Amino acid sequence: MSESSSHIYEQLPANQVAIVNQFCDQFEHAWRQGETPAIGDYLSTAPASVRKVLLHELVLIDATYRKQASVAFDVSDSYQQFHDLDQSWLAENIPTAVSIHPKDKSDLDPPMSTRYEIINEIGRGGMGIVYQARDRRLGRKVCLKSLHPETSRSPERLARFRREARVVSSLNHPNICTIYEFEEHDDRPYLVLEWIEGNTFRELERQGCDLRRLLGLMTQVARALDAAHAAGVVHRDIKPENLMVRGDGLAKVLDFGLARLVESEPSNVSLTDDQTAEGALLGTAKYMSPEQARGEPATAASDVFSLGIVLYELVTGRHPFPGAYLAGILNAIVETDPAPALTVNSVLDPQLVTLVSRMLEKIPEDRPTAADVVALLGSIDSLAEDQGICLSDSTTTTAQLIVGRESELQEIRLACTAAEGGRGGAVFVSGEAGIGKTTLLKGFANNVARRKGFIFLHGQCSQRLSTSDAYLPVLDALARCKDGPDGRFVEEMLKSKAPAWEALTASSTDALARLSTESGPLSQGRMKREFRTLLSALSQRRPVLLLLDDLHWSDASTVDLLSYVGQDLQDMRLLILGAYRTTESALENHPFERLRRDFVARGQGRDSTLPFLNCDEIVLFLERHFPAHRFPDSFAEFLHRRTEGSPLFLQGLVRYLQDRKVVTQEDDRWILTQDPLTLGHELPDSVASLIDTTLDQLKEEDRHLLQAASVQGSEFDSAVVADALEIDRAAAEEQLQRIEQVYGLIRTVEETEYSDGKLTLRHAFVHVLFQEALYAAITPARRAGWSLEIARVLEELHGRRAKGIALELAFLYEAARDFPSAIEWLLQAARQYVMIGANCEAAETCHRGLRLLEKLPPTSERDQTELELQFTSGFAETYVRGYGSSQSLLAYHRALELCERQPPTKEQFSVLHGIWVYHSARMDAENVATLEERIVQLANHLGLPCYHYAANTTIVLSLMHQGKLELAEKHLQLAQSVSEYSVDDDRHFIEQMCMPFGPAFHTARSWLRQLQGREEEALAETATAVAWEDELGVPQFQVSSWYATLHYLQRNAGQALYWARKSIEFARRADFDHYLDMASIIEAWAVEIGEVGDRLNRASLVEAVLKDMPDNRDERIRFGSPLQTCMLGEALASLGRHDEARAAFTDSLTFGRENNVRWWEAETLRQLGLLYEQAFDNLEQAEANVREGLVLAENQGAKLLVRRCLDDLKRLEAL
């Protein structure tokens, strides 16, 4: 930046510089997302006071990204409309050489040298590119750091680069990265630095580190800074990314690119702040000192402050000045005192807590020097190693606060040890609200399991969404893990082992639809198999801990999933921990209760109920919370009487006494300033009154903010609440941070990013009881208003991914009394549940939508919405309860009524065909005929060839089953006349109704040709159907089943077995019982009759089919048609079970005649005749049956069956 431009930049107040940086971040994010953002759009929304500086920054970013993308552009043409642009600055910083064409790519290549061989690029920063290289002369790995080509043309940045070389070379310390050379090649300067194998402190934070090791590493860093400060060098960019630890434990300080020589020797180059190219604010904002944030000169004390932030973050698991926006972070650094480290991690050594606090003093002179830090760290007697404290998470040390839970912890430890050894198990912890279930389990997980290298998955059930949101806690666990230290590995495993779960955690309905098309419906069976495969793959690498909170609110799909995983639990390195409330789980007869009992009965699970604390345990609680206190013995007795040992009440009451200064510190000792009993009625006497008392202390503006937050739920986003209340996001963050520090009602969970790149802080109420109390106190009108605003904000921020929170949006709109929006989101949620096979939740969600629909006046739009809900409900109920479900029947009948009220649409074709499939599977001839007539009428009305093709194909299938082969041939010709029907038309139908008609048409024609005795044409048609499905990329469970049936018609047992087993494979993957049952019968027939496959298991295959076949007629529908029953009869006859075979043939005939499914009746009569001949020696009855079959086959035009009957009659007559 030019001197004039830099001067303008440095004159800006810190808050305006923060605004500039925020706009620049958004501009860069747009480039990284593949967009080409317009500078003018950003300038128009920026405050006038910063536009000139912002313009220069945006131009520099714009030119840099254009060059990296090899985008040809002319500097003068591109920026001529900006009259405030300093032309001399433009010429100096963005020369015309930037206006490159794609062929001018050589500048982007690494600097080449005969001495150094580039291995790979390892990173890019604002100024330079870093490479891993090999020194050919010395045979060692080195790090090459070169300037971006455009940066090397900037005198200011080139000077800064050379300064880094001089600064680092002036230092000689084992904990400072060594510089070997400063060279230039083809006018490209580069540094040759020491190559460090190891991890950054950021990675150390994610992985976890015991306290003693951490203190040793921090001591090394402090020594490096002490050496640098003694040489007059201030680093000015201390942050976790610039601190590394080698494999041998040696710490290294990196990147002195922002360093400043404060007392230069004559041989050194002195740098003033005016020479800093990036202006007053350099370094990473989150780790700046207050003076840097104000734009003042940095000193050695600034490095100490930054190191204090790093140390605070590592020992507490959270940043002392959290915020999603730069302005809020800088303001907190300058104005706000962080929460004492001891309040976040109560087992830290008091000396360490004092040191961290001193390092974070606002006044530089009040901070210790780097030499002081070295000495103080060395004097601290750490207690970490023997207690196993792992410092990587904000909740890491909660286990150290736990008292009175030794037996329960021992149970969990035993299960943990077993899981480590490959024998998985589960521990379920129960108790009432506030008893400490989550504290116990999370404390154990973060301290013990992580220290042992477990992959940690933690999910939370929701009271609001309760049983309606499918897989909620599991998805929550996977999403959190993806953002954690194991995120990259877990994400890779999700993509390779569980793509459906990967799409769900990314809230990508497009990805779900694509997966459904490519590999079949995302059934509940597939979801279960994928999840089990994922856990198995993860546990092969490292043991896995799955912690699920509030299981008394779990959904049916999650319970079913856990039950499925439990089948293989003992063979996996998996520990499941669950927390639940006893009374709620038992009173509502929740499915989790059955799961828990099953786990315990099988010896896979243990159950623990947490009791209240006794007086001795409260004494221990006080010792751990208030080390070296001087409380009288009666204080523990008082607390026990008052709280009855409730942990939540106990902690709240103690905090209340601290706020009232009854419990306070004096000379580093905790004391009582008065007898608590003197407070009288002011003391809360129950958890409820404690909550009320705590909330009464809130300022009005704080209560207002938290009540709005409670509308979003027990967890909430600062940006959402701020936007809903129309207040500044940064201000809201600061207010929430203050509430957390002062009242302790909420905690910061994480920093998250929305789809548009905007950041927000995720907060949680420390207990759901506080959220419930705040929510209950909101007036109905305000509750509705806030619910509406929060729903709208969430919808806007999530954009296309809003479908992933459809149920949450539905409940918010319902609370807002916006019933149309609530119903629309309920329908979206139901459709997504159907897509992933969560049909219980889909049906329940539809029912909720239908109940809300009753509140709306009758309109055509209401009818259309009800039609969609009823149809989706019918589909889901059929999956859950089978084709005999009365709920499905009622839903479909209502859908048909609504269709009659509506004008004909393409969408109705999907509904009518779906209901036709339902009644066809039920073999309900009367309804099938009525529906076919309506389908044809609708196709005629629509007038589109593809709908004529689909309608006639539908009728062909029906007529064939009825045995009306001549009529079927006519409709086949009508469908075939639609010559332009293509695979693209089928893709439309798949998207609209998950049904391709091309394969159905060719399969129907193959069956017809087979019955007509034209076997070669039949095989050719089936091959066409398979090829068609291949081109569509859809699973072949349907065509493979039809292909198996065709080979049965041909009596080709080998091919029938092959395609039956393919159909079984596909049907199991898709959870399609209908096709699974049909294919299983063909498999049993092929093995028994055709004497192929495993003959040793032939009887077991038939037995399995008989066992699965229910007695109830409606339930037997799923076993397909009389054709399959006839196959079963053949298999039974071959096994010598003649009476059962006769009953099967008779059943097939009766069933087919009752339901007008007569296409295989002739063959069944023939088989029954053969049974009478061979098993019962009744030739007269045998001949009568075969002759009856012959007449029927001749009337139907089934030449294949006519030939078979004639052959048998000739043989019988000859006997």
When pLDDT is cut at 50, 70 and 90, the band that residue 76 belongs to is low
Q: Is the pLDDT of residue 695 over 60?
A: yes
Where does a domain end: 856, 876, 891?
856
How many domains, the chain? Answer: 7
DSSP state of 449: I
Of the listed ranges 61-75, 734-748, 968-982, 1166-1180, the least confidently predicted one is: 61-75
pLDDT in the model for residue 908? 87
Where does a domain end: 778, 798, 823?
778
Radius of gyration of the chain (CA): 37
Cα–Cα dist 1159/1163, whole Å: 9
Cross-strand pairs, 246: 198
Q: Which residues of 44-71 are buried (b: 16+ CB within 10 A; e: fewer)?
A: eebeeebbbbbbbbbbbbbbbbbbeeee
Residues 1169/1182, Cβ–Cβ less than 8 Å: yes
Same-domain status, 1069 and 1163: yes
3-state secondary structure of 177: coil
Higher pLDDT among residues 835 and 196, named by residue: 196
Higher pLDDT among residues 278 and 299, named by residue: 299
Where does a domain end: 991, 1006, 1021?
1006
At 962, which CATH number? 1.25.40.10
Higher pLDDT among residues 294 and 883, named by residue: 294
In a domain, 690, yes or no: no
pLDDT tens per residue, range 560-618: 899 989 988 888 999 999 999 877 766 556 788 888 888 888 888 898 889 999 999 99
pLDDT in the model for residue 1113? 43
What HEC string does 1135-1170 produce? CCCHHHHHHHHHHHHHHHHHCCCCCCHHHHHHHHHH
When pLDDT is averaged across residues 525-540 and rounded to a whole number, the result is 88
Same-domain status, 559 and 413: yes
pLDDT in the model for residue 826? 95
Q: What residues make up the domain containing 850?
A: 780-856
When pLDDT is cut at 50, 70 and 90, the band that residue 264 belongs to is very low
Cα–Cα dist 424/418, whole Å: 6
Token pair 């006497």 in the structure block, residue? 685
When pLDDT is cut at 50, 70 and 90, the band that residue 442 belongs to is confident
Q: Is the pLDDT of residue 270 over 60?
A: no
Same-domain status, 452 and 510: yes
In a domain, 58, yes or no: yes
In a domain, 1093, yes or no: yes
Q: Is the pLDDT of residue 94 over 80?
A: no
Q: Is the pLDDT of residue 692 over 70?
A: yes
pLDDT tens per residue, range 455-483: 889 998 887 776 667 888 998 888 888 87
pLDDT in the model for residue 279? 32
Q: Is the pLDDT of residue 107 over 60?
A: no
Q: Is the pLDDT of residue 416 over 50?
A: yes
In a domain, 794, yes or no: yes
Would you tell me how many other CB atoms lie within 10 Å of the CB of residue 1140? Answer: 16
In a domain, 1204, yes or no: yes
Nearest Cα to 837, choosing from 870, 876, 878, 891? Answer: 876
Cross-strand pairs, 131: 121, 144
427: CB partners within 8 A, 6+ apart? 411, 412, 415, 575, 576, 577, 578, 605, 606, 607, 608
In a domain, 904, yes or no: yes
Residues assigned a catalytic role: 237
Alpha helices in 317-446 (DSSP H): 326-335, 341-344, 350-359, 370-379, 384-387, 406-420, 437-444
At 451, which CATH number? 3.40.50.300
Same-domain status, 727 and 659: no
Cα–Cα dist 467/458, whole Å: 18
Same-domain status, 985 and 1090: no
Same-domain status, 793 and 867: no
102: CB partners within 8 A, 6+ apart? 70, 72
Nearest Cα to 767, choosing from 340, 402, 439? Answer: 439
At 706, which CATH number? 1.10.10.10
Cα–Cα dist 502/478, whole Å: 9
Higher pLDDT among residues 380 and 1144, named by residue: 1144
Same-domain status, 719 and 656: no
Give 3-state DSSP helix, strand, coil % of the chain, rounded to 5: 65, 10, 25
In a domain, 684, yes or no: no
Same-domain status, 836 and 772: no
pLDDT tens per residue, range 485-514: 677 888 889 888 888 888 888 766 666 666
Same-domain status, 67 and 30: yes
Same-domain status, 1059 and 1079: yes
Same-domain status, 806 and 865: no
Nearest Cα to 1148, choosing from 1168, 1133, 1132, 1131? Answer: 1168
**What is the average pLDDT score of the chain?**
80
When pLDDT is averaged across residues 723-749 and rounded to a whole number, the result is 87
pLDDT in the model for residue 1172? 93
300: CB partners within 8 A, 6+ apart? 225, 229, 234, 262, 369, 370
In a domain, 249, yes or no: no
pLDDT in the model for residue 966? 92
Of the listed ranges 76-85, 336-345, 665-674, 1018-1027, the least confidently predicted one is: 76-85
Same-domain status, 850 and 861: no
When pLDDT is cut at 50, 70 and 90, the band that residue 301 belongs to is very high
What pTM was estimated for this model as a whole?
0.66
